[in-house]
Chain A
């Protein structure tokens, strides 16, 4: 499955459009990472535990989007966009959406 940020896959031609596909996941932080984050909050800087958590969540959301596109019969997704938002205290939603197409 090919993914792209722009309206086409560079080097290939789009032959069919299947419509909007999306994948999302909501991840809650856990206690261990939260304690480290609390300590890090005093000195500032990167929270590696949360970065990793959200990267995994984004990968999961992208995989769900890919499997939805595969069910439609597409072999590529163009115009992919991401969105992160805080939905509850301590939980964040990652959304990935794009247009499923068939390329040759």
Chain B
């Protein structure tokens, strides 16, 4: 009977590993494409306006995403807990979540030229498993500024 349980465990691990890795690669590619589209519209963490140009509109925009960790990554982290150190399996997941939340925030106001006071926040949400974090929510929020002029306002560095 234990052999059957172990078989299921191995199969879940394998599924998690294969499909998790594939969807992660696809997601990174898609993120790169979206970020290139928004390259000219920066999200700044400062609060001061960069130009005295007359402003047409300014409003709060948010982007959020809830991501879950696949079975394989959670298994790796449970081993890592024994030795301590950086949980390298979680880093790409949270990086994806942050980039996705930032992309959504920028896409929610397509006419903006600038995003001020961009803040990122991560919160853990439990899925009932109890022993390990089931899902994580990442929010990005900022003030989108639309200037009356339509040419790009901010001079971007190379």
Binding site for B on A (CB under 8 A): 2-7, 9-11, 34, 37-38, 40-47, 50-51, 54-55, 58, 80-86, 89-90, 92
Contact = CB atoms under 8 A, between A and B. Distances in A.
A9 B143 CA distance: 9
Contact of A11 (B55, B66, B117, B125): B55
B150 to A, nearest CB: 16
A45 B66 contact: no
A90 B128 contact: yes
B66 A47 contact: yes
Contacts of A90: 126-128
B157 interface: no
B126 A34 contact: no
B66 A42 contact: no
Given A9-B58, A44-B24, A89-B128, 10 more contacts: A4-B58, A5-B142, A6-B117, A41-B134, A43-B16, A43-B19, A44-B93, A51-B65, A58-B139, A85-B123
Given A10-B55, A43-B70, A86 B124 contact: yes
Interface in B49-69: 49, 54-60, 62, 64-69
B23 A86 contact: no
A7 B47 contact: yes
Contact of A5 (B117, B134, B137): B117
Top 4 nearest A-B pairs (CB, nearest first) are: A44-B70, A11-B55, A84-B123, A3-B60
Using C-beta atoms within 8 Å of the partner chain, give the interface range for chain B. Answer: 35 or more
B135 A37 contact: yes
A59 to B, nearest CB: 9
Contacts of A9: 58
A2 B59 contact: yes
A64 B143 CA distance: 20
A40 B66 CA distance: 12
B137 A84 contact: yes
Contacts of B134: 37, 41
A37 B137 contact: no
B128 A43 contact: no
A9 B60 CA distance: 10
- A9, A51, A55 — most chain B CB neighbours (10 Å): A51
Contact of A3 (B59, B71, B123, B129): B59
